[in-house]
Structures are given as structure tokens and as C-alpha cells.
Amino acid sequence: MPLPPQRARSRVAQAIIARSVPATILYEDDKCLVFRDVAPQAPVHFLVIPKRPIPRISRVGPQDTELLGHLLVVAARTAQAEGLADGYRLVINDGKHGAQSVYHLHLHVLGGRQLGWPPG
């Protein structure tokens, strides 16, 4: 029986971490992986994901504090390495109403042009 679309898409993150699905990797350490989005919404668009599966930002707890801080620091350092000195946007979608399509926590980093507000 095929997996529901949500679960199938969530497994893509694990497959990228395992290198069984190709991705353009920008950074990796023992806690996270950074790679280019396959459907970029800005000239620079990459994702920062924890290696430990966390389905949603709304499901984190106190035990995740250090990891979440690490993801933000890695996002900032990668943005700098990608030349986003004029700024960028960090986005975390959460749940159905937040337009989350992959249920493995991921931070979108978008930049390289003037972004509009409100976003959606």
C-alpha cells in the first residue's frame, strides 16, 4: 500500500540525509544538513534540516532548544557564504494552515532579491 503523500514527502528529507536522493549540499555537520531547494522561490533558496526527524516546529520541546539554535546559526552562516549580505528571509511552515508540505522540520532561507510583504 502506498504511503500517504505527507509521509512520502517526509521521507524525502531522510533520503537526502542518507544520500539516496540527490541534492546540492551546501553544508553538513553531525546535527544538520543544508541543501538547495529543488523548486527555488528566490535567486537563493536553500533548506536547513535537522538530521533528527522532528515533524513540526509546533512539536518541539525544551530538549530541542540547542538544536533549534544551531539550525539558526547554520542558516545565518550559510546565508553569509551565499552572499546574502543585503538580507534574506527565514521561513518555517507549520501544519496544514501554515502550508507545510514536508513533515520533517526545515527552515527555508530565501534571498538574492527584494522580497515582498506580506508574504502570502
pLDDT in tens, 58-110: 999 999 999 999 999 999 999 999 999 999 999 999 999 999 999 999 999 99
Selecting among 45, 70, 97, 106, the annotated active-site residue is 106
- Assess whether the previous peptide bond of 4 is cis (omega < 30° from 0): no
* Banded model confidence at residue 11, pLDDT cuts 50, 70, 90: confident
Query: Cα dihedral angle (48, 96, 87, 44), rounded to 10 degrees?
Result: 60
Tell me the pTM.
0.90
Q: Does 106 participate in catalysis according to the annotation?
A: yes
Residue range 26-56, pLDDT digits in tens: 999 999 999 999 999 999 999 999 999 999 9
The DSSP result for 28-83, as a single string, is: E-SSEEEEE-SS-SSSEEEEEEESS----GGG--GGGHHHHHHHHHHHHHHHHHTT
The answer on pLDDT for 2 being more than 60 is no
Assigned CATH topology for domain 5-111: HIT family, subunit A (3.30.428)
